[in-house]
Structure 1
Amino acid sequence: MGFAEDHLIPLVDEGLGNSAYLVDLGDGRALAVDASRDLRALRAAADRRGLRVAFAADTHLHADFLSGAVQLGHDHGAAVLASAAGRRVFPHQGLADGDEVDLGGLTLRALATPGHTDEHLSFLLLDGGRPLGVFTGGSLIVNSAARTDLLGASRTEELARAQYRSLRRLTRLPDKTAVWPTHGAGSFCSAPPGAERTTTIGTEKRANPLLAAPDENTFVSRLIAGLGSYPAYFDRLAALNRCGPAVLTATPTLPALDTERVRALLADGGHVVDVRPAARFAAAHVPGSISIPLRGTFATWLGWLLPAGDPIAFVTEEDQDLSEIVWQAYKIGYERLAGRLFGGMTAWQEAGLPTSATAFVTPDQAPAAPYLDVRQTAEYTAGHVPGAVHLELGALAAHTAEVPGGAVVACGHGERAMTAASVLERAGHTDLTVLNGSPGDYAAAHGRRLTMGAAR
């Protein structure tokens, strides 16, 4: 078959910063690469073209989402293609370096590219002997390479050296070969912000700063220096993907819960997550609830801040998409979803139950108080309010005692800051103010300038 550009359909998860791919094989069948357990976009794309997914390939044991390959095997009869070295315990075709799979006119060749993980494969798509593109997963990504510390600090350098060799191997492909990475901008697997999601071998050879490193030691130093923190749930998903997520035979839902059920859940050690916009949470919320507004990054913060094994109830607005809550939770292995508060905060207040409120102010309204910056370290060092206390949101629960009383809690816009305030309120801080704005806005309103660099 001839391969046209529109035979490849990228499916971008903006929240996790990842891309899955659907390849139209031209005969009513398709190949899916690195599909998430949230298969809504992939199913819609396949349905539009009348495609059945015949092959589901995973480049590695994903740490940031549960794979949809097992589900595609169940629903479509897809053959699951993955590294034999991954020791997956469900039926799949285990591939080693150089193994090829006939897709019916096109060929998929496995290339061992360890570094991001031990068993990482890239998949070279060939038309005859002609390379069309390579699915690089967490190996070569746009202007970077994926992180190598997911297996622990003791192996970070070893895997960084493996990543160096893997990238050098990939750059021996023809310059015009398309590069289709899984990790992209917004991914905690270390894609630089603002990057394009696909590229070519030639472009990366010219523009990727890691490939410009003059030697292996420099490459390793640069790669490791760029590693920041990553969500806590990453540490357990690879093992779940090795076993294979449970097959879903029906779409999971969020049952309606009355106020007494929600109160009992909290009393028994469960959690209430308020997914309403930050301003709505600020006005009135269930005491002890955690604010995680429903947006693209919802799964990231759910998985970073709450344990997966505890039951969770949600407070929602009437017009919010309940299926979005469910699928963002399920794609990272959060399945103990007790339900949603029926009637929302209106029902809670009408029942005469106590509520809490949080001050949410614009920069010009912010009091003269200690400034707590909860952004990621890279954001903080790029520009922060002088004298700010810096504690990343993901680590905040373990450092609540370090937060000064009466602090102004801030991030880049206000959503993460409200989440941080809810974490702190649950730990006993009751005198916080949340900034509805950016550090630059705050500095301008208070006659100051941002400063750069790490905290001293």
Structure 2
Amino acid sequence: MESLTLEEYSRMRESGIPTLDCRPTLPYSEKHVLGSIGISINGSFEYMVNCFFPNKGKLLLISQKERLSESLLRLENEDFKSISYFNIDLWFEADLACSQISRVDASEASKYLEKMIDVSNSEDWDVLHVKGVPNVPLVKLIELPEEIESGSVLYCGNGHKSMAAASFLLSKNIITTDITGGL
């Protein structure tokens, strides 16, 4: 699949078509298009894509080139039919505004206990969680983002849902921090 041009991508983005960035969490956290939702292909990809984009409408896709075919196939298997690929290098080369998400190492998590929120599914939280840390499952967070305060520190079991949650909240101007790799 050919990439959209920078102009095509910008026009489609401005028309309200959402951007799904499925690069791994580290490169996404360091540099991404503001407003994109970061759902790593390495995580619970299908589950999270359906949480964030339940209407199966048009999507702008950012993916690592070597995983583009896999990304497209997995989205098509979830009934996404109108997907346009954008090579994010075009954005970077044009030196356009980028955003980032702050991350802290799991070894430092105890410093943030009062600000932590577990975004795991309720079922996962029932099995394993940090004592005293509230659970706001990803699905609820998407429905009620205003329940999360800026400055919160998000985590889940492996760091994929928390990065997706942090990217979504950032698109709503709620600035949070992600715990790298989860707890």
Instruction: Say yes or no: does 1:328 pair with 2:74.
Output: yes
Query: Greater share of strand residues, 1 or 2?
Result: 1
Instruction: Say yes or no: does 1:434 pair with 2:181.
Output: no
C-alpha separation between the residues in 1 aligned to 2:152 and 2:167?
13
Instruction: Indicate the residue corresponding to 2:98 in structure 1.
Output: 355
Equivalent residues of 2:32, 2:99 under 8 A apart: yes
Instruction: Indicate the residue corresponding to 1:156 in structure 2.
Output: none
Query: Unpaired segments of 5 or more residues in structure 2?
Result: none
Structure 1 runs, 4 residues or longer, greater than 2 Å off: 307-310, 364-369
**RMSD between aligned residues:** 1.8
Identity of aligned residues (%): 25
Kindly state the Cα deviation for residue 305 of structure 1 after the two structures are TM-superposed.
1.1
C-alpha separation between the residues in 1 aligned to 2:43 and 2:106?
25
Instruction: Say yes or no: does 1:270 pair with 2:17.
Output: yes
Q: In structure 2, what residue type is equivalent to 1:397?
A: I
Max radius of gyration: which structure? 1
TM-score (norm 2): 0.90
Q: Indicate which of 391, 405, 430 corresponds to 2:136.
A: 391
Kindly state the Cα deviation for residue 341 of structure 1 after the two structures are TM-superposed.
1.4
Instruction: Indicate the residue corresponding to 2:167 in structure 1.
Output: 422
Instruction: Indicate the residue corresponding to 2:157 in structure 1.
Output: 412
Kindly state the Cα deviation for residue 365 of structure 1 after the two structures are TM-superposed.
3.7
Equivalent residues of 1:273, 1:312 under 8 A apart: yes
Kindly state the Cα deviation for residue 296 of structure 1 after the two structures are TM-superposed.
6.5
Matches within 5 A, 1:8-407: 254-295=1-42, 297-320=44-67, 322-337=68-83, 339-342=84-87, 344=88, 346-366=89-109, 367-368=111-112, 369-407=114-152
Equivalent residues of 2:24, 2:42 under 8 A apart: no
Q: Which moved more, 1:300-309 or 1:371-380?
A: 300-309
User: What is the SS of the residue equivalent to 2:117?
Assistant: strand
Equivalent residues of 1:308, 1:336 under 8 A apart: no
Kindly state the Cα deviation for residue 394 of structure 1 after the two structures are TM-superposed.
2.2
Distance 1:332 1:435, change over 3 A: same
Equivalent residues of 2:19, 2:62 under 8 A apart: yes
Larger RCO (alpha carbons 8 Å, 6+ apart): 2
Distance 1:298 1:438, change over 3 A: closer
User: What is the SS of the residue equivalent to 1:422?
Assistant: helix
Kindly state the Cα deviation for residue 357 of structure 1 after the two structures are TM-superposed.
0.4
Kindly state the Cα deviation for residue 372 of structure 1 after the two structures are TM-superposed.
1.0
Q: How many residues align?
A: 181
Query: Greater share of helix residues, 1 or 2?
Result: 2
TM-score (norm 1): 0.38
Equivalent residues of 1:271, 1:310 under 8 A apart: no
